[in-house]
Structure 1
Amino acid sequence: MRKTQFVLLTLGATVLGGIATVTPAAARDYPWCAQGGDYDYPGECTYSTYEQCQASVSGRLLYCDRNPRFSYGEVQPQPRPQRRARPVAPY
């Protein structure tokens, strides 16, 4: 009985350790997107070539277009200027 508990504890610790070290997949933008239908803009951007995209959208009532994030780069938001406090007038 004690041996079974030890094995289960060891297995649990190993699984927990494995889950803790998993990192999310890196997002990568590809140059071509399947657009239309249920896809929000810019669409499903997982295609390296126009031909891959065309083969995927065939018969799905979708179309292929360039990925704007890949083509033009993401626009970085401009920092808002800091407001200076107005001086308080004496009464």
Structure 2
Amino acid sequence: MEVEMHRAVPMLATFLSVVFSGPAQAAEADRYCLRGRNWGFPGNCQFATRPQCLAAASGTNAYCGINPRYAAPRRR
């Protein structure tokens, strides 16, 4: 049961962050990425805010970082 809760909490946090992100944040819904051993690079980039990403990372070995698409200025 403990293993199932370990997986359910981050999934619930991810679901709630997507549901409550709202239309104002929809344009930049991929600004932060959940990263870690299970996510690869650049990771799960579906978070508009850092708190949303941190909520999904809570209780796991994952961490949050800026999506590489937004980290560097665009070149022309």
**Taking structure 2 as the reference length, what is the TM-score of the superposition?**
0.54
Distance 1:34 1:65 in 2: 7
Query: Which consecutive segments of 4 or more residues in structure 1 shift more than 6 A?
Result: none
The superposition leaves residues 17-74 of structure 1 with CA deviations (integer Å, 9 ceiling, x where unpaired) of xxxxxxxxxxx76110000121111100000000000000101210001111123267
Q: TM-score, normalised by structure 1?
A: 0.46
Aligned residue pair count:
49
SS in 1 for 2:61: coil
Query: What is the letter of the counterpart of residue 72 of structure 1?
Result: A
Query: Matched residues in 2 for 1:48 and 1:29: separation?
Result: 4
Alignment of 1:1-91 (within 5 A): 30-72=30-72
2:3 aligns to what?
Answer: none
Q: Which runs of 5+ in 1 are unaligned?
A: 1-27, 77-91
Greater helix content? 2
Q: Conserved in 2, the CA contact under 8 Å of 1:31 and 1:47?
A: yes
Aligned 8 A contact 1:30 1:70 in 2: no
Which structure 2 residue ranges, 5 or more long, are not aligned? 1-27
Name the SS of the counterpart of 2:34 in structure 1.
Answer: strand
Q: Which has the higher contact order (CA 8 A, sep 6+)?
A: 2
Three-state SS of the structure 1 residue aligned to 2:55 is helix
Secondary structure of the residue aligned to 1:64 is strand
- Which protein has the larger Cα radius of gyration, Structure 1 or Structure 2? 1
Instruction: Let me know the Cα RMSD of the aligned residues.
Output: 2.3
Identity of aligned pairs, percent? 33
